[in-house]
Structures are given as structure tokens and as C-alpha cells.
Amino acid sequence: MEQWVDFWKNVSFVDIIEFLGTFAFAISGIRLASAKKLDWFGAFVVGFVTATGGGTLRDLLLGVVPFWMISSVYAWCTVLSLLFVIVFRKKLVHLNGPFLWFDSIGLGLFVVVGVEKALTLDYSIGVVVMMGTITGVVGGMIRDILINEIPAVFTQELYAVACILGALLYYSFDYMGVSAPVTQISTAVFVFVIRIAAARYKWKLPVLKGEQ
């Protein structure tokens, strides 16, 4: 009990953002796993990988211990996400809207986490933007590969572009001395809005065409 009390005493605003992002991304992964008729274990694995894949690669590249290995909270977030999908499966599994919303929420929150961690370690703007983007998109890429789909980042509307723009916005606000909570919330909302608007209005990068 004392360990949990000490843990929550040390929770920062960025940690809360990371928990929420884990929950949202895990739901997006589990929802797609449900549509593919995976069992509960398979759904958990897909959800966990979706939620932690980007952050794991980010931490390995930055030379730090992957975040989910330090605390079991992220695994429990995935369990909670699995229970959420089980309870509300009739509304989630057959609708694209909930998936888009949870995926976009997770995307925005994880860009914030990735940028914040790179800035804390004093990396340059190029690395900061890359870490924010990796944190946002890699988990979804692994998810799509596991369920035998073309990764959404390569086909859907401004997926990685939203992360890049969000990371640049965060870096700009931080450089101008804007308060951390305002910067973090603004960035997450910005990425979310860009992603939703791109899906709504079909904003896409040009498609690379092969030989006719």
C-alpha cells in the first residue's frame, strides 16, 4: 500500500498524459483486434503493443529504460482498456468513429510525451520532432502489422504529418517560454484536431503512383 501511495505522490502531469494516452491507444488496438476476432489474450497483446510500441522504441533510441518496464501501471491500463472494450463491445467493434477518436486522442497525447522526454534530455529540435513522431506512430504501425493490415501511417490522412506539426508546435511554445501545462494541452488538442479534420475532409499527401 505504501508503495502505491508513494507512486501517486510522484505522479506528474506528463505521467497522467501518458496514462491517458496508453488507455486510448490500447482501446484502439483492442478494438481492431476484436474486429479481427482475436481472443482476449490476443486482444491484450495487440492493445499493449499499440500503447507501448512507440514509447519503447523512443526510449531505446534515447538510451533510457523503456517506461513500461519501470512501472506495471501501463499493463494495468491495457487490462482496463480490454475490460472497457468487452463491456462496450457492441458500440465499439462495428463503428469506425470510436476507433478514430481513441486513436486520435492517443496520438495527440503520445506526441506530447515523446517531445517532453526528448526535451528533458536536451536533444536538438530534429531529435525532438522525431521522438514525438515515433512515440505517436510506431505503436500503431506494429498493431497494423500484427493484424495483417497496411500500417495506417502510410495510407491514412495526415497521420505522421499531424505528429510532426504537433511536435514543432510544442518546441515553439517551449522556446517562447509558454507554461508547460498550456504547451502540453495545446499540442495534444492541436494534433487531435488535425487528425480528425484530415479524416473528415480527406486531407492526404499525394499518392506515389507506379507504372501505368
**Which amino acid, residue 99?**
F
Is residue 212 in a domain?
A: no
**What range does the domain containing 141 cover?**
12-201
**What is the number of structural domains in the chain?**
1
- Closest residue by Cα to residue 194 from 105, 130, 88: 105
Give the pLDDT confidence of 113-166 residue by residue, as tens digits.
999 999 999 999 999 999 999 999 999 899 999 988 888 788 766 889 999 999
106 phi/psi in degrees, rounded to 5: -60, -40
- Helices 159-175 & 96-120, crossing angle to 10 degrees? 40
62 belongs to a structural domain: yes
Q: Give the separation between CA 110 and CA 163, rounded to whole angstroms.
A: 9
Q: Mean pLDDT across the stretch 76-95?
A: 81
Let me know if residue 121 belongs to a domain: yes
Residue whose cell numbers read 506515389: 208
**CA distances in angstroms from 105 to 4, 67, 141, 190, 212, listed in the order given:** 27, 20, 16, 10, 39
Q: What is the mean pLDDT of the chain?
A: 86
* Residue at 91 is within a domain: yes
Say if residue 175's pLDDT is above 70: yes
Query: Radius of gyration (Cα) for the chain, nearest Å?
Result: 17
Q: Write out the DSSP string of 153-209.
A: HHHSTTHHHHHHHHHHHHHHHHHTT--HHHHHHHHHHHHHHHHHHHHHHT--PPP--
Task: Report the pLDDT value the prediction gives residue 95, as an integer from 0 to 100.
Answer: 54
In a domain, 206, yes or no: no
**Residues 176, 174: Cα–Cα separation, whole Å:** 5
The answer to whether 192 and 104 are in contact (CB under 8 A) is yes
pLDDT > 50? residue 3? no
User: Rounded CA gap, 1 and 4, in Å?
Assistant: 5
pLDDT exceeds cutoff 80 at 207: no
Residues, the chain: 212
Nearest to 34 by CA among 44, 23, 24: 44
CB atoms within 10 A of CB 172: 13
pLDDT at 6 over 80: no
Greater confidence, 42 or 204? 42
Whether residue 3 lies inside any domain: the answer is no
Q: What's the pLDDT at 19?
A: 85
Q: In angstroms, rounded to a whole number, what is the distance separating the alpha carbons of residues 20 and 197?
A: 22
The answer to whether residue 2 sits within a structural domain is: no
With respect to residue 6, please indicate whether it lies within any of the assigned structural domains.
no
Q: Residue 10 pLDDT more than 70?
A: no
Q: Which of 2-16, 29-43, 64-78, 151-165 has the lowest mean pLDDT?
A: 2-16
Distance CA 27, CA 107 (A): 12
